[in-house]
Structure 1
Amino acid sequence: MQLGELEKQVLHYLWNAAESDAKQVHAVLGQSRGNSLNTIQSTLDRLFKKGLLGRTKQGHAYCYSAKVDREALIAKLITNVTSDFVADGEHSLIAAFSSASVNLNDAQLDQLQTLIEAQRKLRRGS
């Protein structure tokens, strides 16, 4: 799954706003970017069809909200990218994360270690 720049900005907006219709999103994002209301509506519909937004009908308009949180989306994007390159049982994904961790500071590495331990506890059912 690929996301365009406007799709990313809409997701960021909806992660911070509980729920918005196309006019509200357009007022915040569309006008400053020079996008029409129609472009914003199309973007919201694409994100809905990708399963990233939920929507409810309110009068003649839809109100949209984020269906996935930021972390879940990042995990989904990583899985989509790596699935083309990493075979089952292969360790290149782990090696890639290890290489990327070179840029992390001690606090970030500690946080990563805490998250890994939490995943281990979930697997054990503790």
Structure 2
Amino acid sequence: MSHILRFPDLALGELEQEVLETLWHEGPLSPGGVHRRVGVARGISVNTVSSALKRLQDKGLLEREKVSHSYVYTAVVTRAELQRQLIGAIASRFAGEERSGLLAAFVDVAEAGGEETLRKLEAMIAARLTEGE
């Protein structure tokens, strides 16, 4: 069993993650639309999906607009931006002055993705170094 560190502003439950994935893939949706794509398969109510949407809005990850008698929710961050925020939160919270442990952990994660992932990381680092020159 894995233990996940929870950061109150960025912590996402499984339902919240699936809702975000759906909005990234489908675009703006009403609670009913999200429920049809996520809630039906999970056997949960529209109210449960609406609660997840509201939590994501409160975390600043969604915005909503009133359309007719319902709200339509839109993701306001991309997957890449959320990844940056999560990694940034972990880095600022645990890295302190000593960053080598954080960097080693990041390389370990990349290594778990295989040689191709490590090569992509190497290319990204080389590109950033070239930009800085």
TM-score norm. by structure 1 comes to 0.84
Instruction: List 4+ stretches of structure 1 deviating above 3 A.
Output: 117-122
Secondary structure of the structure 2 residue equivalent to 1:75: helix
8 Å CA contact 2:19–2:34 kept in 1: the answer is yes
Q: Which residue of 1 aligns with 2:58?
A: 49
Alignment equivalent of 1:20, drawn from 29, 51, 61: 29
- Indicate the RMSD between aligned Cα atoms, in angstroms: 2.0
2: distance between equivalents of 1:100 and 1:119?
20
Q: Which residue of 2 aligns with 1:10?
A: 19
8 Å CA contact 2:64–2:71 kept in 1: the answer is yes
Q: Offset at 1:89?
A: 5.2
Deviates more, 1:4-13 or 1:51-60: 51-60
Q: Offset at 1:58?
A: 0.9
Which ranges in structure 2 are unaligned for 5 or more consecutive residues? 1-9
TM-score norm. by structure 2 comes to 0.80
2: distance between equivalents of 1:57 and 1:118?
43
Deviates more, 1:44-53 or 1:69-78: 69-78
Q: Which residue of 1 aligns with 2:4?
A: none
Matched to 1:14, the amino acid is L
Which ranges in structure 1 are unaligned for 5 or more consecutive residues? none
State percent identity of aligned pairs: 37
1: distance between equivalents of 2:130 and 2:74?
31
Q: Offset at 1:75?
A: 1.8
Alignment equivalent of 2:45, drawn from 32, 36, 41: 36
Q: 1:119 to 1:22 in 2, by over 3 A?
A: farther
Q: 1:55 to 1:114 in 2, by over 3 A?
A: farther
2: distance between equivalents of 1:64 and 1:37?
14
